[in-house]
Amino acid sequence: MCEKATNVEAIFNENVFTMGKMKERLPKKVYAEVKNVIEHGGELSPATADVVAKAMKDWAVEMGATHYTHWFQPLTGITAEKHDSFVTNPDAEGHMLMEFSGKELIKGEPDASSFPSGGLRATFEARGYTAWDCTSPAFIKKDATGAILCIPTAFCSYKGEALDKKTPLLRSLEALSEQALRIVRLFGNTKATRVTASVGPEQEYFLVDRELYLQRKDLIYAGRTLFGAPAPKGQEMDDHYFGVIKERIGSYMKDLNEELWKLGISAKTQHNEVAPAQHELAPIFNTANIAVDHNQLVMETMKKVAKRHGLACLLHEKPFAGVNGSGKHDNWSICTDDGINMLDPGDTPNQNIQFLLVLACIIKAVDIHADLLRQSASNVGNDHRLGANEAPPAIISMFLGEQLEDVVKQLIETGEAASCKEGERLYTGVSTLPDLQKDATDRNRTSPFAFTGNKFEFRMVGSSDSIASPNTTLNAIVAEAFCEAADLLEKADDFDVAVHDLIKEYLTEHQRIIFNGNGYAEEWVAEAERRGLPNIKSMVDSVKSLTTEKSVKLFEKFHIFTKAELESRAEILYETYAKAINIEALTMIDMAGKQLIPSVISYTTKLATSISAVRDACPEADVSAQTELLIETSSLLAESKKALEALKAATAKAAAMEEGENQAKAYHEQVMPAMSALRAPLDKLEMMVDKELWPIPSYGDLTFEV
């Protein structure tokens, strides 16, 4: 049976207060003022804000909304909301009017003392402020709980320190715009007034049956399995990747798409991913700020719709050991408001040189700040991917593709790029540059940072993480490189010669970051070390890169973070790590102690009873199979019990430590290994104990029976 087709054009943006709706509902002058602030920054006058707020409220009420919320992104990595209704005091006759003022639209004061602030907000000034970010449109969240008008906001302390992920992102976008404009001006562009980063995140996720999910405490509390023997079949047949989408999953995707389209999220691509039960969704790219907000909504909607379909959506980076984990490829480019993608090689010699300068700047930025980029993609779950058994590696390198790498090589060697592997020559006046063909870039799946024709794909980001930090970092480091280049070039007597020399200099100095080979190979680790590239193996090890002198200088220069803000973030990251591993350890202790070990005891008792019963009934019978099983299971049982006690001790010791780097290290270096030591014998036992007695669904049940 096929349901009636959805009218996508009709539902797209249904729940968003778009520019179009503002145009319809606002007086011309007010609309013009709002548009100007959205496009060029600045503040709305109080009178205008009142008019906008009223129009927004009227629309929201027509849509069924009774409440509004300042929707923000605290450092928990997810979003937060506190609902206020439009209800006001009734008049003497008892009539009440729904109201929403400009002041309420622009600024909120949630009592936000329970959000992580890393010491930035002393308890006596616990108040946090939310401020409307008009560059991301207001929208309505509609579900069984009702309809809520959500106003995207930035979240700051009383003193204006950023307490969220959006504030630094917006600041980094400002910095990037300002510095990138200097670059395009150098090449004669007088029209562009703003440059922005465009981002398209590909979101990977797993879907499992909700009934089975609810039988596993590890999935409920930790979002990943903490025990589990591999299923007989994994991903080795490559039959899931791009495979036919099962009807149950397809029906989920259909609903998910519709929900997203209503929110103005242009869900575009969907497919099965490599691991069983793993899938991907990619939207069409958007400006970085909106892309970040949308990605939060995508993650939230994925979970919500899953429930409705009797499914559970797992966004964890590594829900299952032994099969691929999930990431989020962050596709990133820089575009001017007159429509030029600065990462597009372009058709004219002038554009080509500009492209090469931009490329050289990015190569320099990524090389100098490889540690920061690595940090920006770190989270607790991603430790199971980066530098662990799977891709991408923890070492930052850049993939340019054969053609572009060849051009870079020629520029370094001779200062010219006279020949090209494909395509024709272009005479530029400064040097001969080949026609760079977009489609000539080959695919490399192992690089953490790959050029893909007109954008970079940052592949390290974890599937559950906000994409705010990676993009803030990218914007910041590239703004710095643009700034340094512009400082030199604006003063140059002979621009053509200067730009030519600068490109050569940057490429020569930073070529070590370029690597087109296999990033998974053992040899690369040794080669990267020879090149002096950082190999930061874990989240805990990555945190200190935030507060180095180099990092503070970068972020303070462009007013993205103050030193205090960076220090507070580092502190929060250590705390987050410790808390997350503590939850995982406690969950393992709970499951092992109350579920798994008791079921092994039942099984050994069953074996022992069987041995005596068989012997009693028939003394000549061979009971060697039962006896061997009993010996083996009992020995693994003893090992499990010992490991359980060791894990309890390690966890208690780490939990008693003072919060901070040392505590995080204790969780990483003591508790994590103790967790593995407990898992190992219990995973073996899962393969021996009667399936009827094993209290939790297996990997096979979870990933193949969806």
Q: Which of 73, 198, 463, 599 binds ligand ADP (CB under 6 A)?
A: 198
Q: Which does 451 bind (CB under 5 to 8 A by kind): Mg ion, ligand ADP, none?
A: none
Sort strands 449-451 and 398-399 into parallel, antiparallel or unpaired.
Answer: parallel
Q: Which does 277 bind (CB under 5 to 8 A by kind): Mg ion, ligand ADP, none?
A: none
**Cβ atoms within 10 Å, residue 103:** 12
The identity of residue 569, as a single letter, is: R
CB of 517 to Mg ion, least distance (A): 22
CB 260 within 8 A of CB 298: yes
In whole angstroms, what separates CA 518 from the centre of its chain? Answer: 24
CB 428 within 8 A of CB 349: yes
Torsion over CA of 519, 552, 125 and 131, rounded to 10 degrees? -70
283 binds ligand ADP per the rule CB under 6 A: yes
Q: Which does 392 bind (CB under 5 to 8 A by kind): Mg ion, ligand ADP, none?
A: none
204 binds Mg ion per the rule CB under 5 A: no
CA torsion sign, 95 to 101 to 103 to 109? positive
* Spatial distance between the Cα atoms of 396 and 367, rounded to a whole number of angstroms: 8
* Spatial distance between the Cα atoms of 663 and 552, rounded to a whole number of angstroms: 24
- With residue 278 as reference, give the H or E element that holds it: strand 278-283
Name the one range near ligand ADP by CB under 6 A: 108-116, 240-248, 329-337, 606-614: 329-337
Q: Of 202 and 686, which has the nearer Cβ to Mg ion?
A: 202
CB 37 within 8 A of CB 44: yes
202 binds Mg ion per the rule CB under 5 A: yes
User: By beta-carbon distance, which residue lies closest to ligand ADP?
Assistant: 200
Name the one range near ligand ADP by CB under 6 A: 251-259, 327-335, 476-484, 537-545: 327-335
* Spatial distance between the Cα atoms of 36 and 143, rounded to a whole number of angstroms: 33
Q: Of 281 and 476, which has the nearer Cβ to ligand ADP?
A: 281
User: By beta-carbon distance, which residue lies closest to Mg ion?
Assistant: 202
Structure tokens at 84: 């206020």
Q: Of 200 and 387, which has the nearer Cβ to ligand ADP?
A: 200
199 binds ligand ADP per the rule CB under 6 A: yes
CB of 201 to Mg ion, least distance (A): 10
Q: Which of 333, 352, 447, 640 binds ligand ADP (CB under 6 A)?
A: 333
Name the one range near ligand ADP by CB under 6 A: 324-332, 390-398, 491-499, 547-555: 324-332
Q: Which of 231, 242, 207, 215 is nearest to 321 (CA)?
A: 231
Q: Which of 282, 305, 433, 591 binds ligand ADP (CB under 6 A)?
A: 282
* Spatial distance between the Cα atoms of 219 and 203, rounded to a whole number of angstroms: 19
Q: Which does 223 bind (CB under 5 to 8 A by kind): ligand ADP, Mg ion, none?
A: none
457 binds Mg ion per the rule CB under 5 A: no
Q: Of 224 and 329, which has the nearer Cβ to Mg ion?
A: 329
Spell out where 90-232 has E strands.
Answer: 107-108, 128-132, 139-143, 146-157, 195-209
Could you give phi then psi for residue 215, rounded to 5 degrees? Answer: -90, 0
Q: Of 202 and 344, which has the nearer Cβ to Mg ion?
A: 202
Q: Which of 341, 518, 535, 582 binds ligand ADP (CB under 6 A)?
A: 341
Q: Of 202 and 383, which has the nearer Cβ to Mg ion?
A: 202
Q: Of 166 and 329, which has the nearer Cβ to ligand ADP?
A: 329
* Spatial distance between the Cα atoms of 59 and 104, rounded to a whole number of angstroms: 16
CB of 244 to ligand ADP, least distance (A): 18
Q: Which does 285 bind (CB under 5 to 8 A by kind): Mg ion, ligand ADP, none?
A: ligand ADP
CB of 313 to Mg ion, least distance (A): 18
Structure tokens at 486: 């512009």
202 binds ligand ADP per the rule CB under 6 A: yes
CB of 202 to Mg ion, least distance (A): 4
Q: Which does 199 bind (CB under 5 to 8 A by kind): Mg ion, ligand ADP, none?
A: ligand ADP
**Cβ atoms within 10 Å, residue 42:** 11
* Spatial distance between the Cα atoms of 487 and 490, rounded to a whole number of angstroms: 6
CB of 147 to ligand ADP, least distance (A): 29
Name the one range near Mg ion by CB under 5 A: 197-205, 417-425, 461-469, 613-621: 197-205
In whole angstroms, what separates CA 386 from the centre of its chain? Answer: 13
CB of 30 to ligand ADP, least distance (A): 32
CB of 228 to ligand ADP, least distance (A): 28
Q: Which of 384, 455, 500, 510 binds ligand ADP (CB under 6 A)?
A: 455
Q: Of 273 and 686, which has the nearer Cβ to Mg ion?
A: 273
Sort strands 267-272 and 398-399 into parallel, antiparallel or unpaired.
Answer: unpaired
* Spatial distance between the Cα atoms of 229 and 699, rounded to a whole number of angstroms: 7
CB 369 within 8 A of CB 353: no
* Spatial distance between the Cα atoms of 677 and 673, rounded to a whole number of angstroms: 6
In a 13 Å sphere around the CA of 257, the CA atoms on its Cβ side amount to: 21
Residues that bind Mg ion (CB under 5 A): 202
Residues that bind ligand ADP (CB under 6 A): 198-200, 202, 269, 282-285, 329, 331-333, 341, 454-455
